[in-house]
Amino acid sequence: MSEPASPTKRWRILHSEASRGWGGQEHRVMAELRGFQQRGHEVWLIAHPEAKLVPRAREAGIGVLECAFDRKRLPLDALQLAWWLRKQRIDIVNTHSSRDGWLLGIAARLARVPLLIRSRHIDVSYPHPSISKHAFTTFADHVLTTSDKITQHFKRIFPLTDADITTLPTGIDVKLYHPQGNRAALPVQPGTPVVGMVSVLRSWKGHGTFFDAVRLLRDQRRQIQFVVVGGGAEVAKFQERANAHGVGAAVAFTGHREDVADVLRALDVLCIPSTRHEGVPQIGLQALACQTAVIGSQCGGIPEIIREGETGRLFPIGDAGALAQRIIETIEQKEETERLCSRGRVLVEREHSLEVMLDKLEGLYRRYLG
């Protein structure tokens, strides 16, 4: 593992995030803020007053500005934020969502902030690329993405070169996410393999595919237990979906959990059946670090880390039958599964640790700031 770089200048860094939820994107924002704070830089966050990021940032001793990101107030807010950016002598602004990207992009340009970063975490379409391109060119000096697939997509539709855009998945704390440690108490019986999903409850995470695979395995009378971990939407709505797929009694729902590392160590298999909008999922890297077996769909950046025959197993998007078969293989082919899990841990340590991510970011910042 590389040692953290030691720049002679303490940078003053502001991140912005308009999202109010708590998922992988917000985890990334906190990872960068806390990482650079611990390396001696000064960091701030601007977020919606109701954002789940706000109390977490304040608890970490990070300065917080609140903003409603109201489009009607954009001109006035941009002027006020430009004044604040100049007053605080901010060196780096990093924006993460659409509304804050436009607002802080304009404000940072007015304030002549030395470096403006635009981060993109999920792969979405842009119906009006001639307009959208300004968010990633006019109002960005450099673009960061979380997967190569997003990077290649951007280079096809926007005027970006290799020098303008960098792929950098979120780094994982390999001391926290480790095969040795506590195992979470889950609503399952001991002695039977446990297969689960751990994600924010969103439509594109593939819960329907998972429920169909559960039904197929139950029809085969496989002795497997199933859990769904996560919040974000009402758990009751996803329980209703499980009922509609005929597996309501077979799937245990835990809601949101903070002890994700302990949860992963308690699973025999993690499924990531995403159907769209997926970069490199942090839960995939976290599971690899814990040496938990992973099965992922061929969606977005998942195959960049869940590599068939190397670190895990893959299946076609939406194919519940293929997912069910891969679950059986993962459980029954124990030696092969152990080999994949061991290689997964090595991959994370070598390429995707938190320190590796921070080192690469510091290198990028020095490239622009000297």
Mean pLDDT by 10 residues, the chain (370 residues): 56 97 93 97 97 97 97 96 98 97 97 98 88 95 96 95 97 97 94 96 94 98 97 90 96 95 98 93 97 97 96 98 98 98 98 97 95
DSSP state of 94: E
Do residues 39 and 72 both lie within one domain? yes
Do residues 342 and 214 both lie within one domain? yes
Do residues 107 and 215 both lie within one domain? no
Is 31 among the domain residues?
Answer: yes
For 108-158, how does the pLDDT look when each residue is reduced to its tens digit (9 = 90+)?
Answer: 999 999 999 999 998 888 899 999 999 999 999 999 999 999 999 999 999
The residue ranges of DSSP E strands in 187-224, in sequence order, are 194-198
Is 205 among the domain residues?
Answer: yes
| Cβ neighbours around 251 below 10 Å, total | 25
Do residues 339 and 229 both lie within one domain? yes
Is 113 among the domain residues?
Answer: yes
DSSP state of 172: B
Cα–Cα distance for residue pair 238/277, rounded to 1 Å: 19
DSSP state of 114: S
Do residues 143 and 258 both lie within one domain? no
Angle at 319 between CA 147 and CA 329, to 5 degrees: 90
CATH code: domain of residue 255:
3.40.50.2000
Residue 305 structure tokens: 């880390």
What Å distances lie between residue 105 and 44, 153, 327, 340, CA to CA?
A: 16, 22, 45, 43
pLDDT reported for residue 280: 94
Is 7 among the domain residues?
Answer: no
Do residues 260 and 364 both lie within one domain? no
Do residues 37 and 147 both lie within one domain? yes
pLDDT reported for residue 234: 87
Do residues 223 and 127 both lie within one domain? no
Do residues 304 and 339 both lie within one domain? yes
Angle at 141 between CA 138 and CA 142, to 5 degrees: 120
Do residues 289 and 267 both lie within one domain? yes
Do residues 244 and 334 both lie within one domain? yes
Is 248 among the domain residues?
Answer: yes
Q: Which of 17, 56, 21, 18 has the alpha carbon at shortest distance from 37?
A: 56
Is 228 among the domain residues?
Answer: yes
pLDDT reported for residue 8: 59
Q: Which of 361, 345, 358, 362 has the alpha carbon at shortest distance from 174?
A: 345
Q: Which of 210, 213, 182 has the alpha carbon at shortest distance from 197?
A: 210
Q: Which of 65, 95, 92 has the alpha carbon at shortest distance from 80?
A: 65
Number of domains present in the structure of the chain:
2
Can you tell me which residue has the tokens 């030691």? Answer: 6
| Cβ neighbours around 300 below 10 Å, total | 27
Is 176 among the domain residues?
Answer: no
Do residues 140 and 84 both lie within one domain? yes
Is 40 among the domain residues?
Answer: yes
Question: In 3-state terms, what secondary structure has residue 191?
Answer: coil
Domain that holds residue 265: 194-351
